[in-house]
């Protein structure tokens, strides 16, 4: 466990968020494309924080080390997105802290279901999701990079 803070995204965090995702995607061997696949990161306020959603940042000594977001995808359903923690901070409580805050937010909102998609390249995250009650479900979106789909009943 390391000392870290979790705070809500503010527009002044934008440059740091882009730098964070550039680094995290490079660590994972993924391309980072702000003009297409990752365009949602250029307008976090409208893409995630609208309609009761959120975008959280985890920091350690002022450095951005993790993120998680929720956005509404149906009247009773939100989707967990952009859940990433810098590799050097894996298994140190950062992901658990972010996930717990996101789940609490979803439960406090109007949603009865919290969904997510991920890939086999994220075994630690999949284990964390299962530990917190997520179960595998059928595909619910057309994301060509997603391989695993999960849901948590929040009501």
pLDDT, tens digit, for every residue of 14-52? 999 999 999 999 988 888 999 988 999 999 999 999 999
Confirm whether 104 is domain-assigned. yes
Cα gap 155→144, rounded to integer Å: 29
Secondary structure (3-state) at 102: helix
User: Are 123 and 131 within 8 A, CB to CB?
Assistant: no
Residue 105 to residue 82: CA distance in whole angstroms: 15
Q: Is the pLDDT of residue 155 over 80?
A: no
Domain with 76 in it:
5-111
For residue range 65-76, what is the model confidence (pLDDT) as tens digits?
Answer: 999 999 999 999
Residue 133 scores a pLDDT above 90: yes
Q: What are the distances in angstroms from CA 133 to CA 77, 114, 150?
A: 16, 11, 10
Residue 130 located in a structural domain: no
Question: What is the C-alpha to C-alpha distance for residues 31 and 91, in angstroms, rounded to an integer?
Answer: 25
Helix (H) or strand (E) holding 2: none
CATH code, 67:
3.40.630.30
Identify whether 42 is part of a domain. Answer: yes
Cα(47)–Cα(14) distance, integer angstroms: 13
Kindly state whether residue 133 falls inside one of the protein's structural domains: no
Q: Looking at the domain assignment, is residue 153 inside a domain?
A: no
| Residue 106 forms part of a structural domain | yes
**Domain presence at residue 126:** no
Domains in the chain: how many in total? 1
pTM (predicted TM-score): 0.94
**Strands across the sheet containing 54-60:** 5-8, 54-60, 63-74, 77-85, 113-118, 148-153, 135-136
Tell me whether residue 9 is in a domain. yes
């Amino acid at each position: 466990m390391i000392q870290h803070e979790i705070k809500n995204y503010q527009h002044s965090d934008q440059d740091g968020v882009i730098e964070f995702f550039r680094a995290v995607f490079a660590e994972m061997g993924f391309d980072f494309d702000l003009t297409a696949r990752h365009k949602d990161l250029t307008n976090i306020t409208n893409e995630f924080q609208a309609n009761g959603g959120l975008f959280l940042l985890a920091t350690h000594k002022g450095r951005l080390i993790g993120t998680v977001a929720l956005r509404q995808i149906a009247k009773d359903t939100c989707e967990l997105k952009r859940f990433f923690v810098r590799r050097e901070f894996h298994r140190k409580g950062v992901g658990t802290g972010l996930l717990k805050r996101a789940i609490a937010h979803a439960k406090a909102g109007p949603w009865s279901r919290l969904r997510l998609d991920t890939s086999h390249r994220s075994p630690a995250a999949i284990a964390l999701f299962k530990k917190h009650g997520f179960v595998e479900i059928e595909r619910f979106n057309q994301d060509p990079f997603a391989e695993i789909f999960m849901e948590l009943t929040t009501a």
